[in-house]
Amino acid sequence: MSDDPVLFGLYVPPHPHPLLAPEQNKGWGELRAAYDECRRRIEESEADVIIVYSTTWPSIVGHQFQVQPEPEWVHVDDDFHFLGSMPYKFKMDVEFGNAYRDAAESRGLHARTVAYHGFPIDTGSVVALSLLNPDNRIPACIVSSNMYSNRSETIVLGKAARDALKAQGKKAVIVAVSSLSNRMFTKHVEPQDDRIHSAKDEDWNQKILEFFEDGRLEDLSQLSRDIHGQIRVQKVVAYKPAWWMAATMGQHNNYDGEVMAYAALHGSGGAVIQLTPSKGSVGDKEFDEDDVEIYRGDRNVLVTAAGDMQAPGGVDGPLDEAERPEEDEEGWRNPVEVIDDLYDEYGSTVISHAGGALGAAAGAAIAGPVGGVAASIVAKKTVGKMMSKDGAIIAEDAPSAVGAYPHARRMGNLLFISGVGPRNPEDNRIPGGPIEDGDGNPLNYDIEAQTEACIENIRIILEACEADLSNVIDVTTFLVDMKRDFEGYNKVYAKHFEEIQATRTTLAIQALPTPIAVEMKVIAKAP
Amino acid sequence: MTKGEIVLGCLAPHPPHLVYAENPDENEPVSEGGWEALRWGYARLARKLKTIDYDALVILTPHWQTYIGTHFLGCDAFKSLSVDPIFPNLFRYHYDLKVDVELSEKMCEIAGEAGIITKMMRNPDFRVDYGTITSCHLLNPDWDKPIVTVSSNRNRHYYSVEVMNEQAQALGRACRKAIEESGKRVVLIASHSLSHRHFTTEAPLPEDMSREHIYNHSQYVWDMKVIDLMRDGKMQEFIDLMPEFTEQTMAETEGGGLTWMMAAMGMPSYPAEIYGYQSVIGTGNVVACWDPNEETRELVL
Ligand SMILES: [Fe+2]
């Protein structure tokens, strides 16, 4: 059996017609039959949990996870109340819901669980769970779709589902509840007259179905923005279900796709589709949009007052407005001003605190997550102001540290540079590629590109210390795969250091803190 | 039969925070208070309402969202628990309300005759939206008058704010005609905030007022601009500006409430009574009313 935590994925429509009125229209009946077939397939599967992402559950304050153990209510749809009521009693996997929330939080999302009697579970989730799991044989988890969230948050939300499944050793069937085209008729339509709203919607729906049938889920995910612009009524900022589904299912195109039914639901495109991970399919293509592992916060394009609040290396995203520190009598203050004051007051005392300690010191003075931002601003201000003294140095253009340490420290006539890897300081990406993917599967990477980037980062740090590579006296290099990489590394090294003739030690080690193959640390002569 | 009339129009925002902060018996969560500027303003408007003779409250709410025309509540009574899907930690309210079905049917009928797509909502299991519950609780905590809820057609999403603005005006004119034909004295409620960009995180203590402020300055400037128009009695000008205002501040006016109410009241050219302005989780909220009766109209703020 495959060790993929997702057994298969389903894409199903949110409208209540297949549940409440399958007999009134042939297409609605076909959707119902497909729903019923999915129910049988779930029953026969080894699934421990059903995870539902519903586009009809919008949230605003982050993402929400339903963990009421047995939510029970009689639901009525806002538009289709005349089709009847939907009484339900579901069983939630509380343990999994909590784990999913935790996983989402660890990936930078704001997340919370809800467990309240009478919480209004949305039409899409009610329809899907009522039809797919009527006897509650398998516990479920329902996650909301944040109104403002875009691609990165949604991808990360999908990855967090995988994290939680792996952490709990569970197998899941995942369900994206969404229409294809979602343009409904704005007037009442007799059931027998239902059809897809327009020829354009029909064309696009057929295109999407073709992709699904070919198992090209990641390609669909990459097409989401086009789909949103072409056939979605603009209720929310983006068409997200393909992003969530692709991320939850591992972001590739190797699935067996089956379109089990497709029909109009009051003008919108309703489809029941199954995707099962497989070995052979169309395979991966080159993708337009980058992957994302951790959500680093809103870009806050609407905020202008606080100016540049982006920490270098993206350690701390810009502050959400609600996370601003408590106001003192002077009210909210720009971190830059606070740091100016700190600097004037403490001068080199502050400077002698490095990295995380520096952040903590500044953070204590202005409270909350501003600390991280403050640290980097302190760092920027200290650069170039203290070369005559011993102390810590943070290079504003170098990759951010992964712990509480500065990039460099001067002691007497020597500069000690912390071990540095190849991460690009602008965006944290690894030139030459990471050595493994998020699931720990090895990837093919370019050691020469990594070594080149590593030496460039050393040069940037030395420059912040008003030195350069020619000042280097001693080099220690760590490689995670000596056999594979020594030759490539040695070649690039020679290019830069042949003339300099520093002493050198090269070690093979088991792992480095990020998925990189090489790290170097140097001692240099202070200028 | 005497001709019916609109005796007051209220702009009544519905952040559940206000009910939460007040700790009424009907609401399960308990708070330490908060958002007093709005709550005190609301209390004063509620006192004014007590002095007015009226038969029913008619409310247009953006939290009953319909794509297939405009729907009207059509059962005599509803009794249930309203839980806010966004802030379930703040709002779990036990309501028990009466509906003026006769008036509701009349509005549905006249709007239909005016070419507007309409439907009566007759399902007794239907849960009344939390916008209705919040605004009505704050304006009339005794719940001693019947209400009619009018759904918010999503024409703004389906088409544009301009289309919303036109269709909501047509609906407003039809509702006025229906009210006049009904012979009833009616209070209208547009249930919504002004600028509506929310914070996406919440303070650990939701009522921690040191964390409350407008989401950004441009929202504030827009809110003040339109409040000035209200104070100056320039509602036609505000309604004309509605598309820009709504788009730039993501305003909840997108649901059509204020446009509908102003059209029903004939685009007032007299000053609104302003009862209070405050932000709630970053959104801009004003409590205001339009009193067509010159004798009772006051300068409040
Ligand atoms: Fe609202």
Centre a 10 Å sphere on the Cβ of residue B24 and count the other Cβ atoms it contains.
Answer: 12
**Nearest CB partner across the interface for B125, out of A85, A122, A322:** A85
In angstroms, what separates the C-alpha of A183 from chain B's closest C-alpha? 8
DSSP string covering A188-257: ---GGG---S-HHHHHHHHHHHHHHHTT-HHHHHHTHHHHHHHH--SSSSS--HHHHHHHHTTSSS-EEE
Cβ contact (<8 Å) for B85 and A326? no
Cβ contact (<8 Å) for B123 and A62? no
Mean pLDDT, all residues of chain A: 83
- A84 CB neighbours in chain B (<8 A) are 123
Q: In chain B, positions 19-78, which contact chain A (CB-CB < 8 Å)?
A: 64-69, 71
**Residue B295 located in a structural domain:** no
Band of pLDDT at residue B42, cut at 50, 70 and 90: very high
Q: Does residue A405 contact residue A431 with C-beta atoms inside 8 Å? A: no
**Residue B301 located in a structural domain:** no
Q: Does residue B131 contact residue B93 with C-beta atoms inside 8 Å? A: no
pLDDT of B10-28, one tens digit each?
999 999 999 999 999 999 9
- Tell me, yes or no, if B282 comes closer than 8 A to chain A by beta carbon: yes
Cα separation, A497 vs A451, in Å, equals 12
Average pLDDT rounded to a whole number, residues B240-263:
96
Cβ contact (<8 Å) for B201 and A320? yes
pLDDT of A68-109, one tens digit each?
999 999 999 999 999 999 999 999 999 999 999 999 999 999
Residue A340 or A442, more confident: A442
Q: Which of A254, A120, A127 is nearest to A178 (CA)?
A: A127
Total number of domains constituting chain B:
1
Cβ contact (<8 Å) for B198 and A60? yes
Pairing outcome for strands A49-59 and A172-177: parallel
Phi, psi dihedrals of residue A304, rounded to the nearest 5°: -120, -25
Closest residue in A to B123 (Cα) is A81
Amino acid identity, residue A405?
Answer: Y
**Residue B93 located in a structural domain:** yes
Q: Does residue B282 contact residue B214 with C-beta atoms inside 8 Å? A: yes
Band of pLDDT at residue A51, cut at 50, 70 and 90: very high
B104 Cβ partners below 8 Å, 6+ apart?
B72, B73, B74, B120, B148
**Residue B300 located in a structural domain:** no
Secondary structure of residue A425 in the 3-state scheme: coil
In angstroms, what separates the C-alpha of A9 from chain B's closest C-alpha? 26
Identify the domain containing residue B238 by its residue range: 5-290
Q: In chain A, positions 388-417, which contact chain B (CB-CB < 8 Å)?
A: none
**Residue B51 located in a structural domain:** yes
Mean pLDDT, all residues of chain B: 97
Centre a 10 Å sphere on the Cβ of residue A349 and count the other Cβ atoms it contains.
Answer: 10
CA B251 to centroid of ligand 1, rounded, Å:
10
Average pLDDT rounded to a whole number, residues A299-322:
35
CA B55 to centroid of ligand 1, rounded, Å:
26
Closest residue in B to A182 (Cα) is B158
**Residue B297 located in a structural domain:** no
Distances (CA, A) of A256 to A40, A49, A112, B269: 18, 21, 34, 65
Cα separation, B137 vs A26, in Å, equals 45
* Paired strand residues for A272: A261
**Residue B102 located in a structural domain:** yes
Would you say the pTM of this structure is higher than 0.95?
A: no
Torsion angle (degrees, nearest 10) of CA A199, A201, A204, A210: -90
Cα separation, A479 vs A489, in Å, equals 9
Distances (CA, A) of A101 to A144, A159, B124: 11, 12, 35
Domain with residue B144: its CATH number is 3.40.830.10
Does pLDDT of A321 surpass 50?
no
Alpha-carbon torsion (B232, B233, B239, B240), positive or negative: negative
What is the structure's pLDDT at A441?
Answer: 83
Cα separation, B150 vs B57, in Å, equals 11
Does pLDDT of A33 surpass 70?
yes
Average pLDDT rounded to a whole number, residues A23-43:
98
Average pLDDT rounded to a whole number, residues B269-284:
98
Interface test with A, best of B28, B67, B120 (most A CBs within 10 A): B67
Cα separation, A397 vs B245, in Å, equals 41
Closest residue in A to B281 (Cα) is A322
What is the structure's pLDDT at A317?
Answer: 32
Task: Name the one residue in this structure whose structure tokens are 């009018």.
Answer: B150
Band of pLDDT at residue A130, cut at 50, 70 and 90: very high
Band of pLDDT at residue A129, cut at 50, 70 and 90: very high
ipTM for the assembly: 0.96
In angstroms, what separates the C-alpha of B44 from chain A's closest C-alpha? 30
Domains of chain A: 6-277 (3.40.830.10), 302-383 (no CATH), 395-525 (3.30.1330.40)
Compute the C-alpha angle A160/A119/B137, nearest 5°.
135
Q: Which of A344, A404, A402 is nearest to A378 (CA)?
A: A344
Average pLDDT rounded to a whole number, residues B198-227:
94
Cβ contact (<8 Å) for B117 and A188? yes
**Nearest CB partner across the interface for B201, out of A62, A75, A302:** A62
Of B199-203, B242-246, B295-299, least confident by mean pLDDT is B199-203
Closest residue in B to A233 (Cα) is B158
Closest residue in A to B196 (Cα) is A60
pLDDT of A393-416, one tens digit each?
878 788 877 777 888 988 888 999
Does pLDDT of A313 surpass 80?
no
Cα separation, A82 vs A16, in Å, equals 11
Centre a 10 Å sphere on the Cβ of residue A441 and count the other Cβ atoms it contains.
Answer: 7
Average pLDDT rounded to a whole number, residues A476-482:
94
- A61 CB neighbours in chain B (<8 A) are 86-87, 198-202
**Tokens in use for A234?**
């603009």
Q: Does residue B6 contact residue B292 with C-beta atoms inside 8 Å? A: yes
A157 Cβ partners below 8 Å, 6+ apart?
A53, A63, A104, A109, A143, A149, A244, A247
Interface test with A, best of B200, B208, B283 (most A CBs within 10 A): B200
**Residue B140 located in a structural domain:** yes
Closest residue in A to B208 (Cα) is A326
Q: Does residue A76 contact residue B123 with C-beta atoms inside 8 Å? A: yes
Phi, psi dihedrals of residue B11, rounded to the nearest 5°: -95, 110
